[in-house]
Amino acid sequence: MSTARRPTEERRQQIAEAALRIISGKGVHRLTAQELGREVGIADGTIFRHFKDKAEIVRAAIAHLEGVLFEQFPPQAEDPLERLRLFFVGRLTLVQRMPSVFLAAFSDRLEEAAGEDAGAVRSIIERSQAFVRQCLTEAQERGQIDRRLSPDALTLMVVGTLQAAAFGHRRGALKSQLDPTTVWQTIEIMLTLGAKK
Amino acid sequence: MSTARRPTEERRQQIAEAALRIISGKGVHRLTAQELGREVGIADGTIFRHFKDKAEIVRAAIAHLEGVLFEQFPPQAEDPLERLRLFFVGRLTLVQRMPSVFLAAFSDRLEEAAGEDAGAVRSIIERSQAFVRQCLTEAQERGQIDRRLSPDALTLMVVGTLQAAAFGHRRGALKSQLDPTTVWQTIEIMLTLGAKK
Amino acid sequence: MSTARRPTEERRQQIAEAALRIISGKGVHRLTAQELGREVGIADGTIFRHFKDKAEIVRAAIAHLEGVLFEQFPPQAEDPLERLRLFFVGRLTLVQRMPSVFLAAFSDRLEEAAGEDAGAVRSIIERSQAFVRQCLTEAQERGQIDRRLSPDALTLMVVGTLQAAAFGHRRGALKSQLDPTTVWQTIEIMLTLGAKK
Amino acid sequence: MSTARRPTEERRQQIAEAALRIISGKGVHRLTAQELGREVGIADGTIFRHFKDKAEIVRAAIAHLEGVLFEQFPPQAEDPLERLRLFFVGRLTLVQRMPSVFLAAFSDRLEEAAGEDAGAVRSIIERSQAFVRQCLTEAQERGQIDRRLSPDALTLMVVGTLQAAAFGHRRGALKSQLDPTTVWQTIEIMLTLGAKK
DNA sequence: AATGAATGAGGCTTCATTCAT
DNA sequence: TATGAATGAAGCCTCATTCAT
């Protein structure tokens, strides 16, 4: 809420953060120059001293989102299932702590607001998805996962579970049941059962 | 495109359909009175002879959506896993045929547009979720599913798989891999493996 | 200044007229939606119910200008010099009566405001110029004008005289001297002197 | 592009030049503090260390323009028609080399931007006009020009020819035909024909 | 003298909604 | 019930100008 002058770089940071906060907290339709200005403590027009236009702000917000989601990525572990576990539990924990930020990645509002750069949002999702798929394929090659299971279907399941958890949070439901470790255990049991033989 | 007078009920239907078509085809930001009027064949102002305000229109669109999604619901079968299979394959097929309609159910844009009655969208999701959970619990009670698996986690997985498939469609990815039957087989194998012994 | 509802066609007319009035009376920089609205008696936003955007308004104003300038055009007469005289005296009279409207045709402001359609302004000028040139060439072929005189230079002179008269009016100078007939006589004498031999 | 400090006088010169360059090259609407700063190599706000406001900048630009137009003025020659010839050919050459600078003198945009002191532009034109008129009157008194020709009309013609040539350049037309000498010959023939007898 | 962030006023445009016809 | 002009509130964005640094 500083009214003082700030160097552009700092303001850009502030604004990008504020944008993400607004998007995931109040909805994209509230992402207006006025609202941003209020949040940051400057006049609405001043926003455009730091960003060319609104699309650029959204882009910055997405970049910021990417930073949050992939802070410690990829997880390091020799065993692919262990790597997947680290990722999954981490993400599910994030979902619980900051559900709205996570949901932003799936927001059609955000994607819409990104305009031309909608691809930026998609790439965030794809990056996660590719990682999951990689872990699963590797584990299957090592014989840790039943070979009858389709890697694509499994990827969908793992990623989808996270998504459903996030949407569950939005709806206010399921809060208690979502102990990350429990959920992972269920998944792991299923993945490895067939391979034990 | 008839300009003739119509009883309100008929018009409301037309408008609700048009609204859903616009939302899932062009995005909520294109859902304007003018666009609706054009789609239905009446003047923009006339829309508000039939609906109090825009939120009411969106609510009607959501109701219409619910009708589409639950047309033949719940599926009839004695075996809970068979019931789940019917539901799952049906939904996944729908996702592939009309991804945008399906995505609308997860659209934050739509939820936002509904205003106060955003709950309407949520109830659609919850209805599906409750059904899935019911099938899984029943199957577990019958010993068809390993008892170590958490029903909540499983519900999340099944529902999430559908969601991830839908979002995959939005991103234009995964089109080929999504053969509904294959995906279901992978799920079924996993669900039932542990119980076979 | 009517506040009452008007059919679009009528409003478009009103707005186009108002636009031309503003442009030539107060300058393009005063051609704002607000000013137009005030002039016509409606709210600023309402303007865009009748025109897609400002460029379209400018285009309409130009079309209106063209209508004024070429109301009775081309003049009918067998003798090309007589035709030219009719045109010249008519234009010079117009310059005196409505100097600002005439100047609009040479306004870089207007041309700038026309944006993409700047050509529309130019074509107005070219149309006059082509007519003048045609008369002069014809007269020269008939031996009414000395053959040593370059038709291009003559065209420049005739058209330029009108322009200079208009700009003189803008500067508030020369008002009295500009008796259209006197000016024409001077021109005619010069054009025909050399041919008399 | 030096960011070093400069005495105000030097900066004022630089800025005035830049202003004229922008106005005649890109249009007044591009004459912003930012653009000026970029052109001169200083920050936008700094502009107002050297000029009170934008109108003052425009005024300086006009003064600069006057300097360019009247660099070698008035031409020296005993014979008034020769004096006029020198002026005319000089100006027409200038028109061809730097049409935009010349046009600036007739720009309503520039006049408008000057604000209160719009008269500054007008005086530039009047100065030329008075000179032309003086030459013509003198020549007529010497019997070089037919006495039936109105000096006012002739002044209009000569000045107008230059204007029309300039506007022709703006429209991109007439480029080839405008050999200054040819045009002057046509004028001279007409002016002197009647007097030869 | 220089910087560049901040302001505030405006300008264009869209849109839900109203209301005279 | 229908029309479509009108309104008013936003929203985005630009720019002259100010002022703390």
In chain B, where does the domain assigned CATH 1.10.357 lie?
Answer: 72-193
CB neighbourhood size of D142 (10 A)? 12
Contacts 24+ apart (CB under 8 A), A22-29: A23/A61, A23/A104, A23/A107, A23/A109, A23/A110, A23/A113, A24/A98, A24/A100, A24/A101, A24/A103, A24/A104, A24/A107, A25/A100, A27/A109, A27/B108, A27/B112, A28/A107, A28/A109, A28/A110, A28/A112, A28/A113, A28/B109, A29/A109, A29/B112
Question: In which band, very low, low, confident or very high, does the pLDDT at A2 lie, cut at 50, 70 and 90?
Answer: very low
Task: Report chain D residues whose CB lies below 8 A from the CB of C191.
Answer: 190
Q: Determine the distance in angstroms separating the CA of B13 from the nearest CA of chain A, rounded to an integer.
A: 26
Sequence ranges of chain D with CATH classification 1.10.357.10: 72-196
Which residue, among D54, D95, D154, D167, would best test binding to C if mutated, counting the most C CBs under 10 Å from its CB? D167
In this complex, whether D and C touch, counting 3 or more CB pairs under 8 angstroms, is yes
- Give the pLDDT confidence of C126-152 residue by residue, as tens digits: 999 999 999 999 999 999 999 999 999
Per-residue model confidence (pLDDT) at position D2: 45
CA nearest neighbour of A87 among A192, A174, A187? A187
Q: Which residue is nearest to nucleotide E15 (CA to C1')?
A: B32
Q: Do D157 and C160 touch (CB under 8 A)?
A: yes
- B195: pLDDT strictly greater than 90: no
pLDDT class of D4 with cuts at 50, 70, 90: low
pLDDT at D101: 82
| Chain F nucleotides reached by a protein CB under 7 Å | 1-21
- Would you call C108 and D112 a contact, using CB atoms and an 8 Å cutoff? no
- Which of B187 and C194 is assigned the larger pLDDT? B187
Question: What does the alpha-carbon distance between residue A121 and residue C21 come to, in Å, rounded to a whole number?
Answer: 50
What's residue D79's pLDDT?
Answer: 96
Q: How far apart are CA D166 and CA C63, in angstroms?
A: 24
Q: Which residue has the higher pLDDT, C56 or B26?
A: C56
Q: Could you check: is the Cβ of residue A32 within 7 Å of any atom of nucleic acid strand F? A: yes
**Eight-state DSSP code of residue A6:** -
pLDDT at D41 over 90: yes
Ranges A159-173, B17-31, D114-128, D168-182: which has the least confidence: D168-182
Of B125, B161, B185, the CB nearest to A171: B125
pLDDT of B191 > 70? The answer is: yes
Q: Is B162 on the interface with A (CB under 8 A)?
A: yes
CA of C5 to C1' of E21 (A): 9
The minimal CB distance from A153 to the residues B107, B153, B183 is found for B183
Q: Is C73 on the interface with D (CB under 8 A)?
A: no
Reduced 3-state DSSP string for chain C: CCCCCCCHHHHHHHHHHHHHHHHHHHCHHHCCHHHHHHHHCCCCCCHHHHCCCHHHHHHHHHHHHHHHHCCCCCCCCCCHHHHHHHHHHHHHHHHHHCHHHHHHCCCHHHHHHHHHHHHHHHHHHHHHHHHHHHHHHHHHHCCCCCCCCCHHHHHHHHHHHHHHHHHHHHCCCCCCCCCHHHHHHHHHHHHHHHHHC
What is the 3-state secondary structure of chain B?
CCCCCCCHHHHHHHHHHHHHHHHHHHCHHHCCHHHHHHHHCCCCCCHHHHCCCHHHHHHHHHHHHHHHHCCCCCCCCCCHHHHHHHHHHHHHHHHHHCHHHHHHCCCHHHHHHCHHHHHHHHHHHHHHHHHHHHHHHHHHHCCCCCCCCCHHHHHHHHHHHHHHHHHHHHCCCCCCCCCHHHHHHHHHHHHHHCCCC
Nearest CB partner across the interface for D171, out of C125, C162, C190: C125
Least confident of A123-132, B60-69, C168-177, D70-79: C168-177
**Cα(C166)–Cα(C98) distance, rounded to whole angstroms?**
9
Q: Please, what is the average pLDDT of chain B? A: 87
CA/C1' separation C62–E11 (Å): 21
Q: Is the Cβ atom of B46 within 7 Å of strand F at any atom?
A: yes
In chain D, which residue's Cα lies nearest the Cα of C100?
D108
Confidence of residue B162 (pLDDT cuts 50, 70, 90): very high
Q: Are A23 and B108 in contact (CB under 8 A)?
A: no
Q: How distant is the Cα of B53 from the closest Cα of chain A, in angstroms? A: 18
Please check whether residue C193 touches D, CB under 8 A.
yes
Q: Tokens 């359909």 belong to which residue? A: B17
| Ordered alpha helix ranges (H), D33-107 | 33-40, 47-50, 54-69, 80-97, 99-104
**In which region does residue B57 sit, left (phi positive, over 0), alpha (psi from -120 to 50) or beta (all else)?**
alpha
Q: For residue C159, which residues of chain D lie inside 8 Å, CB to CB?
A: 160, 164
Distance CA A35, CA A56 (A): 16
- Separation between Cα atoms, residue D2 and residue D43, nearest integer Å: 11
Mutate which: B186, B188, B191, B192, vs A, most A CBs within 10 A: B186
Q: Is pLDDT above 60 for D176?
A: no
- Helix ranges, chain A (H): 8-26, 33-40, 47-50, 54-69, 80-97, 99-104, 108-114, 118-141, 151-171, 180-193
**How many cross-chain Cβ pairs, C to D, lie less than 8 Å apart?**
139
- Residues B133-139 have a mean pLDDT of 96
The pLDDT assigned to A45 comes to 95
How far apart are alpha carbons A157 and B165 in whole angstroms? 9
Query: Model confidence over A75-118: pLDDT tens digits?
Result: 999 999 999 999 999 999 988 888 888 888 888 878 877 777 77
The pLDDT of B182-192, averaged and rounded, is 93
Query: pLDDT tens for residues B60-115?
Result: 999 999 998 898 888 999 999 999 999 999 999 988 888 888 888 888 878 777 76
The C-alpha atoms of residue B13 and residue B61 are separated, in whole angstroms, by 9
What is the per-residue pLDDT for B131? 95
Closest chain A residue to B159, measured at CA: A164
Which chains reach chain A with 3 or more Cβ–Cβ distances below 8 angstroms?
Answer: B
Q: With contact defined as beta carbons under 8 Å apart, do B174 and B165 qualify?
A: yes
Distance of C1' in F13 from CA in A185, Å: 53
Is D168 in contact with C156 (Cβ distance < 8 A)?
yes
Q: Are B165 and B191 in contact (CB under 8 A)?
A: no
3-state secondary structure of A150: coil
Return the C-alpha torsion angle B66, B72, B73, B74, nearest 10: -170
Q: What is the predicted pLDDT for the residue at A120? A: 83
Contact by Cβ (8 Å): B19, B60: yes
Once rounded to an integer, what is the mean pLDDT over residues C37-57?
95
pLDDT at D37: 95
Name the residue with tokens 């005196």. Answer: C96
What's the pLDDT at A39?
A: 95
Choices 1.10.357, 1.10.1060, 1.10.287, 1.10.3470: CATH for B72-193? 1.10.357
Among chain D residues 67 through 126, which have CB within 7 angstroms of nucleic chain F? none
Looking at residue D110, what is its pLDDT?
81
Residue C12 has pLDDT above 70, yes or no: yes
Mean pLDDT of all residues in chain A? Answer: 88
D122 touches chain C (CB under 8 A): yes
pLDDT at C97: 85
Mean pLDDT along residues B16-26:
91
pLDDT exceeds cutoff 60 at B3:
no
The token pair that represents D81 in the structure block: 């028609």
| D7 Cα to chain C: minimum distance (Å) | 34
The pLDDT of B128-134, averaged and rounded, is 95
How confident is the model at residue D20, as a pLDDT?
Answer: 92
CB D165 within 8 Å of CB D92: yes
Distance in Å from E6's C1' to C45's CA comes to 29
CA distance A151 to B58: 39
CA distance B126 to A173: 9
pLDDT score for A173: 63
Residue of A nearest to B180 (CA): A153
Q: Cβ-count burial of A117 within 10 angstroms (0-12 exposed, 13-18 middle, 19+ buried)?
A: middle
- CATH number of the domain at A73-196, out of 3.30.2310.20, 1.10.3210.10, 1.10.357.10, 2.40.30.10? 1.10.357.10
Please answer yes or no on whether D152 and C174 come within 8 Å at the CB atom.
yes
Class of the CATH domain delimited by C8-65: mainly alpha
pLDDT of residue C196: 55
Please say if the pLDDT value at position C38 is more than 70.
yes
Best CA proximity match to B193, nearest among A192, A194, A145: A194
pLDDT higher at C24 or C20 = C20
Phi, psi of B146 (to 5 degrees): -50, 135
Give the mean model confidence (pLDDT) for residues C26-49. Answer: 93
Tokens 């030097």: give the residue.
Answer: D10
Compute the Cα dihedral for B140, B143, B147, B149 and give only its sign.
negative
Banded model confidence at residue C29, pLDDT cuts 50, 70, 90: confident
CB proximity A70–strand F (7 Å threshold)? no
Banded pLDDT at B140 (limits 50, 70, 90): very high
Question: Band of the pLDDT at A159, cuts 50, 70, 90?
Answer: very high
Separation of D7 CA and E1 C1' (Å): 8
* Mean pLDDT value of segment D37-66: 93
pLDDT of residue B197: 47
Please give the residue that has the higher pLDDT: either C114 or D83.
D83
Higher pLDDT, B17 or C177: B17
User: CATH 1.10.357.10 region(s) of chain C?
Assistant: 70-196
- Which of D108, D163, D164 lies nearest to residue C107, judging by beta carbons? D108
Residue D197 contacts C, CB cutoff 8 Å:
no
Q: What is the dihedral of CA C170, C171, C176, C177, to 10 degrees?
A: -100
Q: Are A91 and A103 in contact (CB under 8 A)?
A: no
Q: What is the pLDDT of residues D10-32, one digit of tens each?
A: 899 999 999 999 988 888 889 99
Cα A152-A155-A159 angle, rounded to 5 deg: 145
To the nearest 10°, report the CA torsion of B119, B120, B125, B128. Answer: 130
- The answer to whether residue A159 neighbours chain B at the CB level (below 8 Å) is yes
| pLDDT number for residue B25 | 84
The predicted-structure confidence for A14-24, as pLDDT tens digits, reads as follows 999 999 999 88
Query: Could you give the residue range(s) of every CATH 1.10.10 domain in chain D?
Result: 8-65
Residue that is written with structure tokens 């919850």 in the block: B126
Weakest mean pLDDT among A58-72, A169-183, B122-136, C70-84: A169-183
Phi, then psi, of D193 in degrees rounded to 5: -50, -55
Q: Percent of chain B having pLDDT more than 70?
A: 91
Is the model's pLDDT at D130 over the cut of 50? yes
Amino acid (one-letter) located at C127: R
Residue of higher predicted confidence among C145 and B172: C145
Q: Given this model, what pLDDT does residue D153 score? A: 93
Is the minimum CB–CB distance between A152 and chain B shorter than 8 Å?
Answer: yes
- How confident is the model at residue D33, as a pLDDT? 96
Closest protein residue to F14 using CA and C1' atoms?
A45
* Contact assignment for A177 to B148 by CB distance below 8 Å: no
Is C70-196 a CATH 1.10.357.10 domain?
yes
Residues D145-161, mean pLDDT to the nearest whole number: 93
CA-based nearest residue in chain D for residue C164: D160
Q: To probe the interface with B, which of A163, A178, A181, A192 has the most B CB atoms within 10 Å? A: A163
pLDDT of residue B113: 78
Q: Please, what is the angle between helix B119-141 and helix B151-170, to 10°?
A: 130
More confident: D113 or B22: B22
* pLDDT of A197: 47
User: What is the full DSSP assignment across D90-159?
Assistant: HHHHHHHH-HHHHHHTT-HHHHHHTGGGGHHHHHHHHHHHHHHHHHHHHHHHTTSS-TTS-HHHHHHHHH
Which residues in 34-63 of chain D line strand F, with CB less than 7 A from it? 34, 44-45, 47-48, 53-55
pLDDT bracket for residue D1 (50, 70, 90): very low
| C-beta atoms of D186 and C107 within 8 A | no
Quick one: D72-196 is in which CATH superfamily? Tetracycline Repressor, domain 2 (1.10.357.10)
